Structure 1
Amino acid sequence: MANPILQARTAAKQAAHLLPLLKPSMTMLDVGCGPGTISLGLAQAVPDGIVIGIDLNPASIKHAQELAIELGITNATFQVGSADNLAAFSDASFDIVHEHQLLPYVPKPIEAIREWRRVLKPGGIISLRSCSFITAVPELPGLVDYFTFLPKVLAQRGGDVNAGRKHATLLQEAGFDLNNARLDSVAWELSGVEGRTTFAAGAGDRLREPLLGLGMATQKECDGIRDAWEEWKGMEEGRVIALDSAVVAWK
């Protein structure tokens, strides 16, 4: 089953910075597409074009394929693939390369963005949206542990939970000209019963396996994190507060 947080994402919300730039016949690559909810929204915005979504997780790809059939969207395809190795695609293949919240998990982001740039057509657009800041309130002890451990877990894998802060530098080092880019920040939150339920379901045990595998926490500490999210879910004042960097740049 796909993470509920990922399933709740849509192109209208998470790709709002990109949608005004789309034209009906564009071809698009969605790297790290997850369960395909954003990809399929993008496909609807390019009805005469095509969207190809790639993700390392076969279960996510299966979910995306099934969702496309369910929604009757025929101009989107999905395949298992690595976002930092696009050998299956020729140079200058796409009008758009889209990324959403993938860069925090990429060990060598400059190399990945260079690869994304390679498959862009001249004048093509790279679209990035990645976390710059995230927290949850009230700050229950288990939630403090969660947001303390999260960057450490990603760092052990070569990632950066706040990769959005580095967008400008990464784009420059990958060959893009910031004079031909738009950089913005998007504040967002999840609250209310539905928002809290969604986030708690996705975050509750998310770190257990990596924390135990890396020897960073005990089962008891992981239980405390899970229980804190469950408690937070029932708190009317519970909120996730975040800031993303959202940028587009032209090749």
Structure 2
Amino acid sequence: MKTSQSYTESGYTHGHSAPVLAAHATRSAATSAGYLLPELEPGMSLLDIGCGPGTVTLDLAERVRPGRVVGVDPSLEALEAARDEASRRGDRTTDFMAADVAELPFADASFDVVHAHQVLQHLQDPVGALRGMARVSASLVAVRDVEYRTMSWYPDIPGLDKWLDTYRAIARANAAEPDAGRHLKSWARAAGLEDLQVTASTWCYTDPESVHWWSGSQAARVSGQTFARQAVEIGRSRADVEEMRRAWLDWGASPDAYFAMVHTELLARVPARR
């Protein structure tokens, strides 16, 4: 079991392989931060923690421009992808820098909004992370995390059951919480945050295009070095890994394919500092 409190490559269950970054690059503010968008106004400053390849960060930057926006991530590969995406969009003002949520290098109340999408589920100390986010926020903390136990699919394929059990076991071996969504409210209260607004939303893959993409993306992750290595470390065999990969492809080939998952979203108002 890993002991670092940081959100680092060594403790990040997915890793930052090409399939993972490609999947994250399909995310947008609309699909991943819709609950936050009504709170944003031009001129606000915003910090995006665990920015990955930057697509959500840059969408949020469009909403608050000309406000300052910074995306941070411990992965140099992710940051390179984010800067490439900013260049592609012609964004010359959003900053991307290496930083860890456990040690945010910013002064108190440096940003109006501090946002993290799918980050707390990977941390050993999510309560401490929320305290740090609140420290550097002058107004609002926004977090969204999935709950893996809510994942539902059809057709029923044993290899997908094995995949879900394996992923949750890997996450727990990393001292992380794959079912983070249900904990967000309690974690926020433990961090001293009040004035909480909690909602939920789903991702759902049913149309042929999204099914094909999700199937291929997950099969590539399962067969990738990071997942396969961790699966073996917790006692799965290489044959198990191949069964899981094949299950994703078989699911994606079904005309009846359906997959859904629930995310919890939390907004926390930060009290004005005296």
1:239 matched to 2:254? no
2:213 counterpart of 1:198: yes
Deviates more, 1:77-86 or 1:104-113: 77-86
Per-residue deviation, 1:69: 0.5
Calculate percent identity across the aligned residue pairs.
26
Aligned residues: 245
Q: What is the distance in 1 between the residues matched to 2:131 and 2:48?
A: 15
Q: Distance in 2 between matches of 1:135 and 1:56?
A: 31
Partner of 1:15: 33
2:80 to 43, 50, 62: 62
Instruction: State the match for 2:144 in structure 1.
Output: 129
Superposed, 1:1-251 pairs within 5 Å as: 1=18, 3=20, 4-86=22-104, 88-121=105-138, 124-132=139-147, 133-177=150-194, 180-204=195-219, 205-206=221-222, 207-212=227-232, 214-251=233-270
Give the root-mean-square deviation of aligned CA atoms.
1.3
- 1:69-128: per-residue Cα shift (whole Å, max 9, x none)? 001122311112212221x1111101111111111111110111111111111xx11111
Residues 27-55 of structure 1: CA deviation (Å, up to 9, x unaligned): 11111111111101001101111221111
Give the Å deviation of 1:64. 0.5
Shift of 1:14: 1.0
For 1:146 and 1:69, the matched residues in 2 are separated by 37
1:125–1:232 Cα change, 3 Å:
same
Residue identity opposite 2:85 in structure 1: L
C-alpha separation in 2, matches of 1:194 and 1:80: 34
Q: Distance in 1 between matches of 2:50 and 2:108?
A: 19
Task: Supply the AA of the counterpart residue of 2:249.
Answer: E
Larger strand share, 1 or 2: 1
SS of equivalent residue, structure 1 residue 30: strand
Question: Cα offset for 1:215?
Answer: 3.5
Q: 1:198 to 1:51 in 2, by over 3 A?
A: farther
* Distance across 2 between alignment mates of 1:56 and 1:41: 20
The worse-fitting range, judged by mean Cα deviation, of 185-194 and 59-68 is 185-194
Q: Which runs of 5+ in 1 are unaligned?
A: none
Specify the code of the residue in structure 2 equivalent to 1:54. V
TM-score under structure 2 length normalisation: 0.86
| Cα distance change, pair 73–196 in 1 and its aligned pair in 2 (3 A) | same
Output the TM-score relative to the length of structure 1.
0.93
Stretches of structure 2 lacking an aligned partner (at least 5 in a row): 1-17
Q: Distance in 1 between matches of 2:108 and 2:133?
A: 10
